[in-house]
Amino acid sequence: MTDKKTIKKSSLDDLFKKMMADGKRVLAPVRKGETVLFQEVDGYSAVAADYVQTTLSAKEALLPRCEEMMRFTTAQSTVSLEEGPAKPSPVVVFGVRPCDARSIAVVNAVYLKDYNDALYKEKSDSTTIIAVSCAKSDEYCFCTSVGGSPGSTEGSDILLTLIDGDTYLAEILTDKGKAVVSIAPALFAAAGSEVKEKHLADVPVQFDLGALEKKLPGAFDGAVWITQSLRCIGCGTCSYVCPACTCFDIQDETDGTRGMRFRCWDSCGFGQFTLHTSGHNPREVQSQRWRQRIMHKFSYQPDQLQVVGCVGCGRCSRACPVDMNILQHIKDIVEAR
Amino acid sequence: MQDKIIQKAKELLSGGAVQVVIGYGQGTGDRVRAIFIQKPEDAGRLIMDGRCVQNLAGYLMKHEVRALGRAAIVARMPVLRSIAQLMYEEQFKDSDVAVIGISDANELVDLPDLNALKEYVRANPLKLTPEEQAEVDRLDAMTREERWAFWMEETSKCIKCYACRASCPMCYCARCTVEVNQPQWISVPSHDLGNLEWHIMRAMHLAGRCVNCGECTRACPVGIPLRLLNQRIIADIADNFGEEEDYALAAFKPDDKEDFIR
Amino acid sequence: MEEKNVYQPYLMRIASIIDETPDVKTFRLEFINEEEGKQFNFLAGQFGEYSVFGEGESTFCIASSPTRDGYIECTFRKMGRVTKALASKEVGDTIGFRGPYGNTFPIDRWKGKSLLFVTGGIALPPLRCVIWNALDTRENFKDVTVVYGARSVQDLVYKHELDEWEKRSDVKLITTVDPGGETKEWKGEIGFVPTVLEKAAPSSADTIALLCGPPIMIKLTMPVLTKLGFSPDNIFTTLENRMKCGIGKCGRCNVGKYFVCKDGPVFTFAQVNQLPPEY
């Protein structure tokens, strides 16, 4: 049974300070010009208000855009490897949307299946997610069509829902969540009979996920991929803003003696992604890459990992420079005869 | 204006002069997006208003678009400039493209062929607007340290999604410098140095070629004002070479004031 | 307990180098940490990520047989950044190796059967691992036939081993070079692999075929194998796609829903025929 408490908005700054005093870095959405980005903050006053969705997702706390994998020193004919990257310091990510929190299940499925990715696991273990339910949504949101909701608790350690102007209902969902409460028990009060549902955004279900998953395996050769992606310019924006996109590149950098191996975000939208050294490319043109994006999320991952690789946050569509709207394209695929 | 474009698109398609018209149509909410009209009866979907600013010229180079056949393109001034530059770089033949030109005064421009387009572009040289110049001047007025801090702060947001490159009609290289790895000229990882190297390299490669369409800035998901880099270079080129050159950095003149090239 | 970083390679010493062709080399690699070497096991068909520190990693199969202890071998062509850096390494130098990754040829299930290897050019290495595995456990198999072709005599790899197989009475070796690729001394066939295979007409009875080569060779050889009576589930191959991680995470080597690195690289043609053409 989830432990329900309340916390005043005016207490959040105290909570932030207590968490920092406890040795945690606190990341929260901060407004920068037209964007809202997760950044380390030193108090609640820095947190952006009144946004539907952050520009980039919270995944960067777990999967940095550029992450050290190992260090090495090379001499004439010998190599020495140094200890892996320093242990990540504990992080609390505040203000994560429930859709983003759900995306952690996708990342877990990729990074922890078969081969345990310790770089990811360590970050994941030391990260606490304090999510905030969505009181509003926009035309790009479709979490409810992919199994989520504006008040979903999946993936969060604590979920806050604003139930009046100054009070959050706090659902304490995991041990990590309890640990946060235990740092500042006085800031939390026992919850009454408040229910969050009437405080959540109304996000209508827009397509039948089951029908989509049934349709895709037979749709590989369809003309729809070309039609839909004619305007796609092949940048990586959709992948990089996506909380559930996990593909990466590996790069070495060295000064000739000492060097590092990094992993960096990569995107199936890039032609280079699959290019063989010989010059042969299994996905030569953009329509094949667009197909891969949809197939991977809505067919391959459900089939192989039992998770849908999309949480309906709508970021890819909002950020796309050429208005590739994933919701619209999926609906078109579901409805096509 | 919109009706004239629709009319022209219908004519081009029904007469068989082109197989596809690249223009703007309704997008999500109040956005517009690039659309590809292949039948005269669909030409009514074309839109032309203040929202239609995406530089469509890059689509002329795209495999799947080229596969549709000869294209006509709805082209405001930045698109016309892009096409002229791409012709200068021998990316098109005259016969490849038809143009539905629109002037800065929002009038349909009759450009029967790409030579006419080149003449038109030459007659309307690229100039920064006073607002754009003011922004360049604002950066110029900073101390070096302030300017460095400004660009480090901006480029630190970069996630290397390469939307700036993908949205730019001038970035058509089959293998971009950042993908050339023997040697690896530009750091791939999105760390401070990698980001800075990338944007400086890109600005340099666009020197004298950038048409100031602003697409890089619009495309950037994290809001880096990339066009400022190029606008500064445009201003420099205008100061140093005058404004009448097709391509200042590739033109040779015997009376060049620099002597390293002689 | 501290989790091992799955991306951290073993350090390997280059024990020997053979120049197979002007741009193909074979390295024999030994574990610098002997304990790691003792614990290391692999099976025929698996691959690894070989690294030159500072340049990156490159994917190729383990070309030696699991029946040979104490070392692994890899054969590669000088092509890109990493293989060029590898090619400049000398005996005694240190490189990195992660693996073994991927599935294996189900050799255990082939006991008592005949084996037919059909391959071309630089595609012999992945099958060479199986060939030596079979020859080192020769009593488990009936006939072993190898049909191997290359563009020219110069492009044949493992020339010293081809000589050895040629001399053995328990291997039938047919080598061929493309017309014009022969030398005066060339005693093998002249012609393309599919044609030579058709002429040799090995029996498909109780036989497993292993086919590995460039796409055009595969395309033209499949009809010949079918004509000889091989069913697609008795023809095995190994696919390759661009890889970075080798362990199903970096996301680029998939063919449809399968990752070549994790679900492959070994597939039967019955499986390949079900896959979209993404390799």
**Hey, what are B64's tokens?**
């799947």
Q: Identify the band that residue A336 occupies on the pLDDT scale cut at 50, 70 and 90.
A: confident
For residue range B222-233, list pLDDT tens digits in order: 999 999 999 998
For residue range A55-64, list pLDDT tens digits in order: 999 999 999 9
What mean pLDDT is predicted for residues C35-45? 95
HSE-CB at C207 with a 13 A cutoff on CA atoms is 22
**Hey, what are C242's tokens?**
């661009």
Tell me if B153 sits within 8 A of B245, measured CB to CB: no
CA separation for the pair B81, B170 (Å, rounded): 11
Q: Identify the band that residue B247 occupies on the pLDDT scale cut at 50, 70 and 90.
A: low
C60 bridge partner residues: C48
pLDDT of C1 reads: 40
**Hey, what are C177's tokens?**
């070079």
Which is higher by pLDDT, C216 or A153?
A153
Report residue C38: phi and psi, to 5°: -65, -35
Q: What percent of chain C has pLDDT over 90?
A: 96
| Nearest CA distance, A334 vs chain C (angstrom) | 20
Helix (H) or strand (E) segment spanning residue A319: helix A315-319
- Residue entry with tokens 């990729």: A110
- Residue entry with tokens 């703007």: B24
Q: Identify the band that residue C3 occupies on the pLDDT scale cut at 50, 70 and 90.
A: low
pLDDT of B241 reads: 76
Q: State whether C249 and A248 contact (CB < 8 Å).
A: yes
What mean pLDDT is predicted for residues C250-273? 96
Q: Which domains does chain C have, with CATH numbers?
A: 10-101 (2.40.30.10), 107-238 (3.40.50.80)
Q: Identify the band that residue B245 occupies on the pLDDT scale cut at 50, 70 and 90.
A: low
Tell me if B211 sits within 8 A of B85, measured CB to CB: yes
C255 bridge partner residues: C258
Q: What is the pTM of this model?
A: 0.94
What mean pLDDT is predicted for residues B181-190? 92
Question: A-B interface: how many C-beta pairs under 8 angstroms?
Answer: 112
What Rg do the C-alpha atoms of chain A give, in angstroms? 21
Identify all chain B residues contacting A56, using CB atoms and an 8 Å cutoff. Answer: 159, 221-222
Show me where the domains of chain B are located: 2-123, 130-250
What mean pLDDT is predicted for residues C45-51? 97
What mean pLDDT is predicted for residues C17-39? 96
CA separation for the pair C81, B30 (Å, rounded): 47
For residue range A229-245, list pLDDT tens digits in order: 999 999 999 999 999 99
B250 has pLDDT over 80: no
CA separation for the pair C214, A148 (Å, rounded): 46
What mean pLDDT is predicted for residues B182-200? 93
Q: State whether C8 and A276 contact (CB < 8 Å).
A: no
* Average confidence score pLDDT of chain A: 95
For residue range B143-156, list pLDDT tens digits in order: 999 999 999 999 99
Q: Computed from CA positions of residues B247, B251, B256, B258, in that sequence, does the dihedral angle turn out positive or negative?
A: positive
pLDDT of B237 reads: 83
Poorest-confidence range of A255-259, B87-91, B163-167, B217-221? Answer: B87-91
The SS3 call for residue C15 is: strand
3-state secondary structure B193-221: HHHHHHHHHHHHHCCCCCCCCCHHHHHCC
Touching subunits of A (3+ CB pairs, under 8 Å) are B, C
What ranges make up the beta strands (E) of chain C? 10-21, 24-31, 47-52, 56-61, 72-77, 94-101, 114-120, 144-150, 172-177, 189-190, 207-212, 235-238, 254-255, 258-259, 266-268
pLDDT of B243 reads: 62
B246 has pLDDT over 70: no
Instruction: Kindly identify which residue of chain C lies nearest to residue B179, measuring between CA atoms.
Output: C81
* Average confidence score pLDDT of chain B: 92
Q: What percent of chain B has pLDDT over 70?
A: 95
Tell me if B30 sits within 8 A of B52, measured CB to CB: no
Name residues 150-209 of chain A within 8 A of B (Cβ): none
Does A56 contact chain B (CB < 8 Å)?
Answer: yes
Q: Which domain holds residue A26?
A: 3-335
What mean pLDDT is predicted for residues C152-179? 96
HSE-CB at B107 with a 13 A cutoff on CA atoms is 4
What Rg do the C-alpha atoms of chain B give, in angstroms? 20
Touching subunits of C (3+ CB pairs, under 8 Å) are A, B
| Nearest CA distance, C42 vs chain A (angstrom) | 16
**Could you tell me the CA-to-CA distances from A97 to A46, A52, B125, B173, C121 in Å, in that order?**
18, 9, 48, 39, 54
Q: Please name the member of B58, B64, B159 whose beta carbon is closest to the beta carbon of A65.
A: B159
**Could you tell me the CA-to-CA distances from C52 to C47, C58, C95, C248 in Å, in that order?**
16, 9, 5, 22
Contacts of A63 (CB under 8 A, 6+ apart): A107, A120, A123, A246, A248, A265
What mean pLDDT is predicted for residues A264-290? 95
Q: State whether C53 and A296 contact (CB < 8 Å).
A: no
Q: State whether C255 and A249 contact (CB < 8 Å).
A: no
Q: How many domains does chain A have?
A: 1
For residue range C174-193, list pLDDT tens digits in order: 999 999 999 999 999 999 99
pLDDT of C2 reads: 54
pLDDT of B262 reads: 58
DSSP state of B24: E
**Hey, what are B108's tokens?**
């349909």
Q: Computed from CA positions of residues A201, A207, A210, A215, in that sequence, does the dihedral angle turn out positive or negative?
A: negative
Does A256 contact chain C (CB < 8 Å)?
Answer: yes
**Angle at C95 (CA atoms; ends C92, C97), nearest 5 degrees:** 130
B253 has pLDDT over 90: no
